[in-house]
Structure 1
Amino acid sequence: MTDAGREQAVEAALGKLGLDARTRLLAGQDMWSLPALPDIGLASLVMSDGPIGVRGVRWTADDPSIALPSPTALAATWDPGLARRAGRLLAQEARRKGVHVLLAPTVNLHRSPLGGRHFEAYSEDPHLTGAIGTGYVRGVQDGGVATTVKHFVANDAETDRFTVDNKVAARPLRELYLAPFETIVKNARPWGIMTAYNQVNGTTMTEHHHLVNEVLRGEWGFDGVNVSDWMAARDTTRAIEGGLDLAMPGPDTVYGRALAAAVRAGEADEAAVEEAVRRVLRLAARVGALEGAEPVVTGLPAPIDGEALAREIARRAFVLVRNENAALPLAEGRKVALIGAAARDARVLGGGSAQVFPAHVVSPLDGLAAALPPSSLTYATGADPSDEPAPAGPGFRLRAVCRDAAGNVIGERSLPSGQVQWIGDDLPDGVTHDTLHSVEVTGTFTPRESGEHAFGTRGLGAFTLTVAGETLYDGVQGMGEEADPFEAFFGAPAERGTVALTEGVPVEVSLLHPLDREHAAPLPGVLFSLLHLGPRRDPDELIAEAVAAARAADTAIVVVATTERVESEGFDRADLKLPGRQDDLVRAVAAANPNTVVVVNAGSPVEMPWREEVAAVLLSWFPGQEGGAALADVLLGAEEPGGRLPTTWPATLADAPVTEVTPTNGELHYTEGLFIGYRAWDKAGATPAYPFGHGLGYTTWEYESLELTPDGATVRVRNTGSRPGREVVQLYVSPVTPGPVERPARWLAGFAGVEAGPGESAEAEIPLPRRAFEVWDEETGAWTAIPGSYDVRTGRSLTDTRLGATLTVDGTD
């Protein structure tokens, strides 16, 4: 069926709907879905959070999902084709879970390194972000599943994200923040866009007529659905006039009955309602949820092995930023000391709505233990990034028991992670919000080590915590000082007491949580956690043990990490420091063993004050469920670390040119204009720890030739090393002489990946878009080419270019 055929089916269905049915369709029926309308053959459209996996409508480890590496990792591959394969896998996962719409990808920019949710976005550069996002959207929609590219627009920090008014001038808004959305809309034709919580220049994005109706739909031709971020829609009339189609979640929102009443009162335009419903029906037709309309995709892509692809993306994303004296890959037969709490309990994904629950996680310790003989690997904790209890994990066997007001059991559900996260109608069978009076997390815990174990709670309301027959807490947790309502509800972890336990001896545990309206969640749901922390030991003693292990080994591998209290949705970062004693650990180990390799398990930049003191530094991002296996592949040389930096890594936060993320009087002024990321570093004349585009492999490359035309470049490179490898050939443009308007010193104009064996050459064909030489003219409101001579350089990173040529651009189209 053609697009015209689907449009006929949409119009036929639309004509059968009255005002009440139309407005009900725009409000959602619950947390994750739209109402079915059987009279017109419309099935319920189901949505799910992304972007690294498809959680589905249940927020529980009982319903596992493939967990891919973080978006920063995907961007570090510099491979839109790989992003497309990731999207196809996610479409496969979505169809398995009955999901029609994936709430992803996130294409906001890394404006400041303090952005708390940057692990969920791709890059500081709009061109790279647009290219990776285009591949991702194409891949998901190849599988017949819709995407909602988010968060439109300038949602680049978390502080006061619900209310902040981001003041952005027209040029940076167009050239930076809107640019990835424009690229994706024009090149991938996404079926959905999600508008952000924040305001832009005085208007909240769910009501932004200019940016939604005039730019997104008018200039770019977007014909898909515009859905609000959850709870972002605030005003019925302004939202429908501003181009918002879906106000989620439902049913209690500014649409539905409120919208029907506004139309009848003459306060809202019925024609705008009709257009919104038409777009929702078009989405349903595209994904196969409307009878009489053949879905866009009838022949699905070939099945994909999710675990294998997760492992491939992880190793392709690892960025080797330092490798002195060929410390990596490890020589065969070397004795390895693996050090760090994060080596045993890896952080594989970021916190917040991006969370999914994989069926298993391969930690660095798991990966290396599977790849090395037992006699060649030792492990030491060294330092723990957190001294706070975390959700109950290994050793716990738990279930959640639901009771009514009379104390009768009305339902149960297993609880693999100790977290109760029942949002919307995701409750155990037989349980409703009206009948549910209390939830008890109960079961056993078998310790992995003897000593004083700490237990705690997270959430709001009353709790009774009992371990091994001893009541550790019986009280009420109230609201803290968290500004973000979601962060406030999840709350800070609270330690409630300790119990002396013996390795291997199970004990009974119970956390009883009566529900009350005073401490209800911001969305319908039940959200709280049983927390645990193993025996604390003297930090100096742990570091001393790690030093002893390092001295006895040929190579020491230290895994350092951030935590959910450092990088997560809902808040920005206070600094870029690694938490706990991890910096001390690295320095002590490096002093004991010159062959020290540090693996940085963080979703976005951290300070590494010891980076010049160690042999190698490998950035693993949040590497997904197969991260440990991929790490073993790379460390042992079975595979090459393929990543390049998608964002600049500063040596210290003080060096970073743009750091402000906290509004003043409700406003955050983007006073830096065009100068974020490497553009700002160039303007400041400052040198970061590692520049944009940087990344080492296991071979060497010679750049042999650059052929330039107005439409693109052909770059010939040769692998001059002894191993096969992949090179990311990057193309940067800079004006030879200053023009009539201020511009960055240079900017990324294109890139391509090539592969070659030892001694072989390869050619990279890199298109050179006209937009690379244009600026947004604020006076005319149009893109304008700046004529003149441009230096076009190609190489391995922003600061390591090998060849150059001059291109003359005229001012005509």
Structure 2
Amino acid sequence: MSEDEKFAWISGPIAIPIPGHAPLPDEALGSAAYYPAIERLGIPAIQQSDASLGVTNPGGIRSGAEATALPSSLLLGATFDVDTARATGALVGRQARAQGFAVQLAGGANLVREATGGRNFEYVSEDPLLTGKITGASVAGIQEQGVVSTVKHFTANGQETGRVLADSRIAEAAHRESDLLAFQIAIEDGQPGSVMPGYNLINGYWASENAHLINDILKGEWGYRGWVMSDWGATHSSEKAALAGLDVQSGADFDPEVYFAGPLREAVLEGRVPQSRIDDMVRRQLRELFRVGVLDNPPVPGGVLDIAGDNAFAQAAAERGLVLLKNDGDLLPAATGLSRVLVVGRHADTGVLAGGGSSAVTPAGTTSEPSGIDRTWADRVIHPSSPLEAIRAEAHATHVDFIDGTDTTRTLEAAARADLVVVFAEEWRAEGYDMQGVSLPDGQGDLIEAIAAVNPRTVVVIESGGAVSTPWARSVPAVIAAFYPGIGGAQAIAGVIFGRVNPSGHLPVTFPKSIDQLPRPEQLDPAATTSNPNQDIVGDIVEIDYDIEGSDVGYRWFAREGHYPDFPFGWGLSYTTFAFSGLTVTAHGPDLRVSGYLSNTGDRAGATVAQIYVARVNSDTADYVHRLAGFARVDLEPGETQPVDVVFEPRILASWNDTEGGFHLSGGNYEIRVGTHSLDEDGPTQRIELTAAPVPAAPSRH
């Protein structure tokens, strides 16, 4: 390759026409990025698309382009099912390849540290094991289709407000045991071709030029051989970033200058950056494109898509993730053939809510409305999956009426006459925009309580981008957490309400009672900071203290501090009952295996998740709270029993030792507990004594 050809592949603008920016090449499809073909060497052009929830089409730039809108990553996390994650990844990979994309910017592996985080819907959970396993499976599914996947945003990118000025401060050991461990597991399992740092700083260094994270850990200790691309407009230097391990300046037109063009060439000519570093940047890309199959079999636009079939699968994935939070008096499943059902909710007649930003998929029939946020692609998107029509199809009621809930008097009058009321509560989030507080906005909680007061047969469905507080749930017999359920969301929700679907999802995040239970209840003022690239900087860099909770993220923080949430991590009800028996724990050094039997003791088919938690007890060092060390999802017919065999992730039991540079298991007694959620103390337990030992580094499979 010539030097010009090399440099054409290490920086590039966003591949969407923007007024005042350079025009795009005719070959660019219209997407996140385009890197030109090198025809004399047989290297095709590389086109990149967002994101984890499906193939996006920002602004409808690709006329007629279709894609399936998957359930949010949180709903995927709620399945606790690596097989479903792999299959949804394969769906995204197939659709990306059919549209000509070689790289899908998919694989959100950030831990949900901030319950208010604006992009939480793009991430999997607050737990490093669940996040790593689900993300890794999704990445593997994408790449099995011959499309490179990108794990992001590396790392500790916990919030959106002020994200381009946020400095995530966290000690090495806490980082290794939490956020970094989630990424490590995802990379080991999924072997992504690319990794993307975030906009934030980590311990005083921009993520895109943090040599400790990129060179020392990712490429060094972990042996990662793929390429590291910046987020769009998240590059801050040429020489420093290149030497720190950044391989590609993405969205260079969002940065103050194209650092990886003239300035980097000058650094090479002056000997400040070796030529071998430029070669390494390009070699890493080519190697992964060859490995995944892109260069031998380039994606070509115009492939055949099975949108109907893929949409049906998206619905099935949502059905496996919906979480039944409450079901007093067995109100659900609701009887069919009722006289009058009332559906309440602002958009419940037209569709289900989707998160905003670069990950928003817009299938045919999608509607949108202004959000009031000064951010590109920040419209509030509503997927064309009508809860009203889905409930009509499932309920077989004489009358299924709709009211948007904006007129309280009319709403209560209609609710009092109904045999069943289904309220769709909305909480919208977006890239670059954190939720303010953890309560449902716009007085929806008050409306729910008022409806429940006039009709005790009220069901609430929460469409949210993350955890919300639910003080109103005391007044409501049945509550379902749907997060953002995607193109088949309404049908999945209606299926749960009327019993076609037996709910089997479990919360991937803790639902707090109030914002005061969180590690950082005070939030940044969005007007006093800058949250997005390519905007004028307001205010200074803001340090975010993640050492408050350290590695005890989410449910571990709640347990450590003695906070009791509205609904704990792992919580989820079913229309049948299950029992775990025959708990056996065996150990070989730091490797633990748990086995037993799961039985469906009820009268209908269903699925449950054996959640296996571990804590160190009576040790010489400080005990730690129970944390998820293994899980297994099992589908069972009525009366059926299946064996369960779970191998623990040993790093979950261990602690990071800064001095020796590795995970080490402390000797002592460990309690293994099988539960239905993180606070479940009624399941079988067993104690085992383990000997202190280093945990061997996981072998690099990349």
The letter of the residue matching 1:556 is V
Equivalences for 1:771-782 in 2 at 5 Å?
Answer: 771-782=651-662
Does 1:667 find its partner at 2:564? no
Structure 2 counterpart of 1:329: 333
Structure 1 counterpart of 2:570: 693
Structure 2 counterpart of 1:548: 413
Please say if residues 51 and 105 of structure 2, whose CA atoms lie closer than 8 Å, have aligned partners that are also in contact. yes
Taking a change above 3 Å as real, the CA distance of residues 145 and 307 of structure 1, as seen in their structure-2 partners, is same
Structure 1 counterpart of 2:433: 571
Query: Which 10-residue stretch deviates more, 596-605 or 764-773?
Result: 764-773
The letter of the residue matching 1:226 is V
Structure 1 counterpart of 2:66: 64
Please say if residues 579 and 599 of structure 2, whose CA atoms lie closer than 8 Å, have aligned partners that are also in contact. yes
Taking a change above 3 Å as real, the CA distance of residues 319 and 48 of structure 1, as seen in their structure-2 partners, is same
The letter of the residue matching 2:563 is A
Please say if residues 424 and 462 of structure 2, whose CA atoms lie closer than 8 Å, have aligned partners that are also in contact. yes
**How many Å separate the matches in 1 of 2:541 and 2:233?**
23
Does 1:708 find its partner at 2:585? yes
Would you say how many aligned residue pairs link Structure 1 and Structure 2?
630
Structure 2 counterpart of 1:386: none
Equivalences for 1:36-51 in 2 at 5 Å?
Answer: 36-51=37-52
Residue aligned with 1:800, SS: coil
Does 1:611 find its partner at 2:473? yes
The letter of the residue matching 2:43 is L
Residue aligned with 1:683, SS: helix
**How many Å separate the matches in 2 of 1:125 and 1:333?**
42
Q: 1:370: how far off?
A: 2.6
Does 1:20 find its partner at 2:23? no
Please say if residues 192 and 227 of structure 1, whose CA atoms lie closer than 8 Å, have aligned partners that are also in contact. yes
- Structure 1 gaps of 5+ residues are 1-16, 384-541
Please say if residues 196 and 228 of structure 2, whose CA atoms lie closer than 8 Å, have aligned partners that are also in contact. yes
Q: 1:703: how far off?
A: 2.0
Of 642, 659, 665, the match for 1:762:
642
The letter of the residue matching 2:327 is N
Residue aligned with 1:95, SS: helix
Deviations 1:405-455 (A, max 9, x none): xxxxxxxxxxxxxxxxxxxxxxxxxxxxxxxxxxxxxxxxxxxxxxxxxxx
Q: 1:610: how far off?
A: 1.1
Taking a change above 3 Å as real, the CA distance of residues 295 and 99 of structure 1, as seen in their structure-2 partners, is closer
Identical amino acids, percent of aligned pairs: 35
**How many Å separate the matches in 2 of 1:258 and 1:657?**
42
Structure 2 counterpart of 1:681: 558
Residue aligned with 1:48, SS: strand
Residue aligned with 1:276, SS: helix
Q: 1:112: how far off?
A: 1.8
**How many Å separate the matches in 2 of 1:546 and 1:164?**
43
Structure 2 counterpart of 1:86: 88
Residue aligned with 1:156, SS: coil
**How many Å separate the matches in 2 of 1:122 and 1:660?**
24
Structure 1 counterpart of 2:277: 272
Equivalences for 1:190-339 in 2 at 5 Å?
Answer: 190-250=192-252, 253-290=258-295, 293=296, 305-334=309-338, 335-339=340-344
Residue aligned with 1:765, SS: strand
TM-score (norm 2): 0.86
Structure 2 counterpart of 1:507: none
Does 1:562 find its partner at 2:438? no
Does 1:798 find its partner at 2:678? yes
Q: 1:583: how far off?
A: 1.6
Structure 2 counterpart of 1:718: 599
Query: Which 10-residue stretch deviates more, 153-162 or 84-93?
Result: 153-162
**How many Å separate the matches in 2 of 1:580 and 1:303?**
39
The letter of the residue matching 1:35 is P
Residue aligned with 1:267, SS: coil
The letter of the residue matching 1:109 is L
Structure 2 counterpart of 1:373: 396
Please say if residues 177 and 652 of structure 2, whose CA atoms lie closer than 8 Å, have aligned partners that are also in contact. no
Q: 1:289: how far off?
A: 4.4
Of 626, 631, 637, the match for 1:751:
631
**How many Å separate the matches in 2 of 1:739 and 1:572?**
41
Taking a change above 3 Å as real, the CA distance of residues 774 and 746 of structure 1, as seen in their structure-2 partners, is same
**How many Å separate the matches in 1 of 2:580 and 2:693?**
33
Q: 1:269: how far off?
A: 1.6
Q: 1:56: how far off?
A: 4.9
Please say if residues 287 and 295 of structure 1, whose CA atoms lie closer than 8 Å, have aligned partners that are also in contact. no
**How many Å separate the matches in 2 of 1:30 and 1:120?**
21
Query: Which 10-residue stretch deviates more, 705-714 or 258-267?
Result: 258-267
Does 1:642 find its partner at 2:504? yes
Of 688, 693, 701, the match for 1:807:
688
**How many Å separate the matches in 1 of 2:251 and 2:541?**
29
**How many Å separate the matches in 2 of 1:209 and 1:743?**
33
Please say if residues 101 and 147 of structure 1, whose CA atoms lie closer than 8 Å, have aligned partners that are also in contact. yes
- Structure 2 gaps of 5+ residues are 16-32, 366-383, 530-539, 695-702
Deviations 1:177-206 (A, max 9, x none): 101110122222111101111111111111
Please say if residues 63 and 357 of structure 1, whose CA atoms lie closer than 8 Å, have aligned partners that are also in contact. no
**Larger strand proportion of the pair:** 1
Residue aligned with 2:492, SS: helix
**How many Å separate the matches in 2 of 1:665 and 1:244?**
22
Superposition CA RMSD, Å = 2.1
Structure 1 counterpart of 2:373: none
Query: Which 10-residue stretch deviates more, 65-74 or 671-680?
Result: 671-680
Residue aligned with 1:342, SS: coil
Equivalences for 1:130-529 in 2 at 5 Å?
Answer: 130-250=132-252, 253-290=258-295, 293=296, 305-334=309-338, 335-360=340-365, 361-373=384-396, 375-383=398-406
TM-score (norm 1): 0.75
Runs of 4+ in 1 over 4 A off after TM superposition: 56-62, 293-296, 300-304
Please say if residues 72 and 120 of structure 1, whose CA atoms lie closer than 8 Å, have aligned partners that are also in contact. yes
Structure 2 counterpart of 1:491: none
The letter of the residue matching 1:20 is D
Please say if residues 147 and 294 of structure 2, whose CA atoms lie closer than 8 Å, have aligned partners that are also in contact. no
Structure 2 counterpart of 1:397: none
Q: Which has the larger radius of gyration?
A: 1
Q: 1:176: how far off?
A: 0.5
Taking a change above 3 Å as real, the CA distance of residues 144 and 660 of structure 1, as seen in their structure-2 partners, is farther
Please say if residues 707 and 715 of structure 1, whose CA atoms lie closer than 8 Å, have aligned partners that are also in contact. yes
Structure 1 counterpart of 2:490: 628
Please say if residues 658 and 680 of structure 1, whose CA atoms lie closer than 8 Å, have aligned partners that are also in contact. no
The letter of the residue matching 1:737 is N
The letter of the residue matching 1:681 is F
Please say if residues 352 and 385 of structure 2, whose CA atoms lie closer than 8 Å, have aligned partners that are also in contact. no
Please say if residues 56 and 94 of structure 1, whose CA atoms lie closer than 8 Å, have aligned partners that are also in contact. no
**How many Å separate the matches in 2 of 1:333 and 1:370?**
11
**How many Å separate the matches in 2 of 1:556 and 1:228?**
48
**How many Å separate the matches in 2 of 1:56 and 1:96?**
14
Q: 1:666: how far off?
A: 2.4
**How many Å separate the matches in 1 of 2:628 and 2:274?**
44
The letter of the residue matching 1:651 is K
Please say if residues 44 and 289 of structure 1, whose CA atoms lie closer than 8 Å, have aligned partners that are also in contact. no
Residue aligned with 2:676, SS: strand
Deviations 1:197-227 (A, max 9, x none): 1111111111111211111111111111111
The letter of the residue matching 1:319 is V
Residue aligned with 2:575, SS: coil
**How many Å separate the matches in 2 of 1:574 and 1:770?**
37
Residue aligned with 1:714, SS: strand
The letter of the residue matching 1:282 is R
Residue aligned with 2:126, SS: coil
Please say if residues 101 and 146 of structure 1, whose CA atoms lie closer than 8 Å, have aligned partners that are also in contact. yes
Structure 2 counterpart of 1:585: 447
Deviations 1:555-609 (A, max 9, x none): 111111113xxx1111222211212231222111101111111111112112222
Please say if residues 336 and 554 of structure 1, whose CA atoms lie closer than 8 Å, have aligned partners that are also in contact. yes
Structure 2 counterpart of 1:737: 618
